[in-house]
Amino acid sequence: MPMSDALPSDPAGTAGLRPAPSLPPLREVIARHGLAARKSLGQHFLLDLNLTGRIARAAGDLAVGTTIEIGPGPGGLTRALLDAGARRVIAIERDDRAIAIQQEIADAYPGRLEILAGDALDIDAATLGDTPRRIVANLPYNISTVLLIGWLRKAHCFESLTLMFQKEVVDRLAAAPRDPDYGRLSVITQWRCDVRPLFNIAREAFTPPPKVVSTVVRLIPRAAPAADVRMESLEKVTAAAFGQRRKMLRSSLKPLGDAEDLLAAAGITPTARAEELSVDDFCALARVLDGRATPGGRGPASP
């Protein structure tokens, strides 16, 4: 899906969707709770309610199941999700200052917002709430890809993931073979999900502004992975191949054993380079690796 140009900000945070009558403007909330963004937490607050509303609408039908938000901060996206009709929102937040803000929002939307205090890296989102389960989040940039890899391991537990990353990360998620951005993250994500970049958001829309443009992307987990291989094997193959992406695969895959034999069994030319292989090609390599590691030569089913 083509993306629009980066959208301008609404510095006052008053355009588009409006907060519930009992809730004050976001900037007032931030000042009252002393919620200055902390670099250590990767915080960049999105105060433009026009944009938070657009993100909420991009997440699809929120009226059933559970919507999980990561690092809600001052609650602009939380409000938008609830205003968009989310039946149940679970907000995961480790910053005590933001938890107090979330409680005010919960009071304004009785019975619809649950606050989970803790680090998203330590919480298994795949077990939260009831299904269909989806994640909608402006992710802290410093842990965004680590979180994503964890969710991909349990992608079958989610209906969708509507996430905001640095634009360069989304470029990697959606990249095709021979594209400079094509790499490990491209292969693993596309193996498990349909990747749909949606729209860019300008730096100026955030407080404080990050150094880069951000992009919202929607990931739709496939009913079954693109191939029946283990994610661990796919990670090993892509790590070796892209770890030395300028080398021919017969050299870069040597850490996995007999590279020539591995490539022959997968039907791949040994002089090819990582950037030339499709997702299916990497899956073929992972399948051979699975067979080598499993008694009887049959790889176990993917998670």
Q: Over the stretch 24-42, which tens digit does the pLDDT of each residue have?
A: 999 999 999 988 767 766 6
Residue 57 has pLDDT above 70, yes or no: yes
231-297 classified as CATH 3.30.465.10: no
pLDDT at 44: 80
pLDDT at 45: 87
Residue 13 has phi, psi (to 5 degrees) of 65, 35
In the block, tokens 């030395």 appear at: 244
**Residue 6: band (very low, low, confident or very high) from pLDDT cuts 50, 70, 90:** low
Nearest residue to 119 via CA among 71, 154, 76, 69: 71
Query: Rounded mean pLDDT of 275-281?
Result: 97
Evaluate whether 99 touches 115 at the Cβ level (below 8 Å): yes
Question: Could you tell me how many helices (H) and strands (E) the chain has, helices first?
Answer: 11, 10
| pLDDT more than 90, % of the chain | 78
pLDDT at 87: 96
Evaluate whether 90 touches 66 at the Cβ level (below 8 Å): yes
Query: Rounded mean pLDDT of 174-199?
Result: 98
pLDDT at 3: 53
DSSP type of residue 299: P
Type of residue found at 260: E
The CATH class for the domain spanning 4-221 reads alpha beta
Burial annotation 279-295 (CB, 10 A radius, 16+ → b, else e): bebbbbbbbbbbebeee
In the block, tokens 């670099």 appear at: 39
Q: Hey, what are 25's tokens? A: 């403007």
Task: List every span in the chain annotated with CATH 3.40.50.150.
Answer: 4-221
**Residue 16: band (very low, low, confident or very high) from pLDDT cuts 50, 70, 90:** very low
Task: List every span in the chain annotated with CATH 1.10.8.100.
Answer: 231-297
Nearest residue to 143 via CA among 125, 165, 124: 165
Query: Rounded mean pLDDT of 104-117?
Result: 96
Evaluate whether 205 touches 48 at the Cβ level (below 8 Å): yes
* Least confident piece of the model among 1-5, 34-38, 159-163, 220-224: 1-5
Distance CA 207, CA 226 (A): 39
> pTM for this structure?
0.88
Query: Rounded mean pLDDT of 90-99?
Result: 94
Nearest residue to 72 via CA among 102, 42, 33, 108: 102
Residue 232 has pLDDT above 90, yes or no: yes
Query: Rounded mean pLDDT of 223-247?
Result: 95
pLDDT at 291: 86
pLDDT at 293: 55
Question: Strand pairing partners for 214?
Answer: 166, 201
Type of residue found at 68: I
Q: Hey, what are 226's tokens? A: 């693109």
Question: What pLDDT, in 10s, does the model give residues 118-156?
Answer: 999 999 999 999 999 999 999 988 899 999 999 999 999
Evaluate whether 232 touches 213 at the Cβ level (below 8 Å): no
DSSP type of residue 267: T
Count of C-beta atoms within a 10 Å radius of residue 100: 15
Q: Hey, what are 4's tokens? A: 């629009």
